[in-house]
Amino acid sequence: MEKVVIIGGGYAGIYALRELVKNKDIKITLIDTHTFHNLQPEVYDLIANKSNIADVTIDLTTLCMGLKHSYLEYKNLKVTQIDSLKKKIYTEEKEIVEFDYLIMAAGTRTYFPHVIPGLNNAHDIKKLNWAVYFKQSFENQLFRKIQDEAKKCDDTHIVVVGAGLSGVEIAAEMAYNSKMFFKRGNFTCDNLKISLISSADTILPGLDSKLVAISHERLKSLGIKVITNTKLQRCEDNLAYFTNGTKIDHSFLIFTGGVEASKITSELDVEKNSKGQIIVNEYMQTSKYENIFAIGDVAQIKNRKDEIMPPNVTIARISGINAGKNILNLINKKRLEKANPKLEGILIALGGKYAAGSIYGLFHVKGRIAYEIKKYVFDSYRKPLLKLITDGYKKLKKI
């Protein structure tokens, strides 16, 4: 029986898994250090009190049970070494997993440059545990403000370094959430400040100018101070120093300045880029091994115009499905299918029920309608998974 292993239970890994289970005669193993699939783009809703942990996670054990495949198993393991030639995966737990085909879907993490002293004190809210910690810390600070408002009303200053999608969305959600917090309680100590720092000459570098303009106007209306052409130089205690000569006394520093591939990619002797992402061909295969694939954020994926695609859910879906299909094609000795990665559009959450987006590059939407489109896209992904984990839970309770 052919053995297929997926390392990483994120968006790309789940799409690949759902494709692979169509073949009932192979053994499939999903490995992840977490027990849940983190719906990372929705973590900002968690921080802004629009959802809870159950809304932004999918249990991997019950998901695998719900897929109804006799030879599918989920293993909560930390991979330490991959032997590509012996086709063995070694783990911190001393368990060895063998494979005939391997899909790398371990994703990326926030890159904290070592050249910036003190940056280790910044929050990496892409990780669910840190997102929850930040949410609790922020709420505690708000409570202290209203508790002491008759005596003093110190500034609370959140500094978000990095004005890409992650930075813009978290700044917008935090600004909107805090405004509603003070408004609902009629509290007077509403002196919360948020600064968004961009090293480029604009926010959302790489996106079209109209979408940037819509987003910038929304941030401005939320009272967010946008500082461009500026880099973080160093951090000391609660002070952040910048290349424009300024220093900011902050309560929280959130760094979203870039990403790098999961450390596990270093275990593979295949071609990678400067971010550690695995370079793949049009079939999602690695440079040296036709039985090893890489998908989603952990891979450098190009479209048919040879342009590098940005890491997002759409590319995770396309690459995951393609890798799953091609492994089944290899097993069945069929011709491989070329992937056709392309963006269907982009939607940016900008606080409350307001979003902005570009649909297929043809037209722009903003406000409530863009928010509803974004919500529909998320629900169309999450609802089928909820059914699977519900079925899996019922099956598990019968055992």
Give the model's pLDDT for residue 144: 67
Q: How far is CA 48 from CA 13, 53, 87, 184, 353, in A?
A: 27, 12, 44, 15, 12
Q: What is the pLDDT of residues 346-360, one digit of tens each?
A: 999 999 899 999 988
Domain range holding 206?
A: 119-255
Q: What is the CATH number of the domain that holds 183?
A: 3.50.50.60
Domain assignment of residue 68, yes or no: no
Q: Is the pLDDT of residue 345 over 90?
A: no
Q: What is the pLDDT of residues 206-249, one digit of tens each?
A: 889 999 999 999 999 999 999 999 999 999 888 999 999 999 98
Total of domains in the chain: 2
Instruction: Give percent of the chain above pLDDT 70.
Output: 88
Give the model's pLDDT for residue 188: 53
- Whether residues 251 and 279 fall in one domain: no
Domain assignment of residue 169, yes or no: yes
Domain assignment of residue 273, yes or no: yes
Domain assignment of residue 54, yes or no: no
Domain assignment of residue 45, yes or no: no
CA gap 170, 205 in Å, rounded = 16
For the chain, the maximum distance between any two Cα atoms, rounded to a whole number of angstroms, is 75
- Whether residues 193 and 304 fall in one domain: no
In the numeric block, the tokens 């979203």 are attached to 256
pLDDT bin (cut points 50, 70, 90) of residue 190 is low
- Whether residues 178 and 272 fall in one domain: no
Give the model's pLDDT for residue 148: 61
395 or 100, which is more confident = 100
- Whether residues 236 and 137 fall in one domain: yes
Q: Which residues contact 83 (CB under 8 A, 6 or more apart)?
A: 89, 90
Nearest to 165 by CA among 57, 52, 258: 258
pLDDT bin (cut points 50, 70, 90) of residue 123 is low
Is the pTM above the cut of 0.85? Answer: yes
- Whether residues 16 and 87 fall in one domain: yes
HSE-CB at 75 with a 13 A cutoff on CA atoms is 22
- Whether residues 210 and 231 fall in one domain: yes
Q: Is the pLDDT of residue 163 over 90?
A: yes
Burial, 391: exposed, middle or buried (Cβ in 10 Å; 0-12, 13-18, 19+)? middle
Instruction: Give percent of the chain above pLDDT 90.
Output: 57
393-397 contact pairs (CB < 8 A, 24+): 393/59, 393/62, 393/65, 393/66, 395/65, 395/66, 396/61, 396/62, 396/65
Domain assignment of residue 292, yes or no: yes
CA gap 299, 278 in Å, rounded = 5
Give the model's pLDDT for residue 147: 64
- Whether residues 209 and 164 fall in one domain: yes
283 or 392, which is more confident = 283
Burial, 167: exposed, middle or buried (Cβ in 10 Å; 0-12, 13-18, 19+)? buried
- Whether residues 236 and 338 fall in one domain: no
Domain assignment of residue 83, yes or no: yes
- Whether residues 148 and 246 fall in one domain: yes
Q: Is the pLDDT of residue 298 over 60?
A: yes
- Whether residues 245 and 142 fall in one domain: yes
- Whether residues 231 and 326 fall in one domain: no
Domain assignment of residue 388, yes or no: no
Compute the average pLDDT of residues 318-338: 97
Q: Is the pLDDT of residue 116 over 80?
A: yes
Choosing from 255, 270, 302, the residue where a domain stops is 255
Choosing from 298, 327, 342, the residue where a domain stops is 342
Most confident of 80-94, 125-139, 235-249: 80-94
Choosing from 321, 342, 363, the residue where a domain stops is 342
In the numeric block, the tokens 């992904």 are attached to 381
- Whether residues 154 and 196 fall in one domain: yes
Q: pLDDT averaged over the chain? A: 88
Helix intervals (H) in 186-208: none
Give the model's pLDDT for residue 125: 64
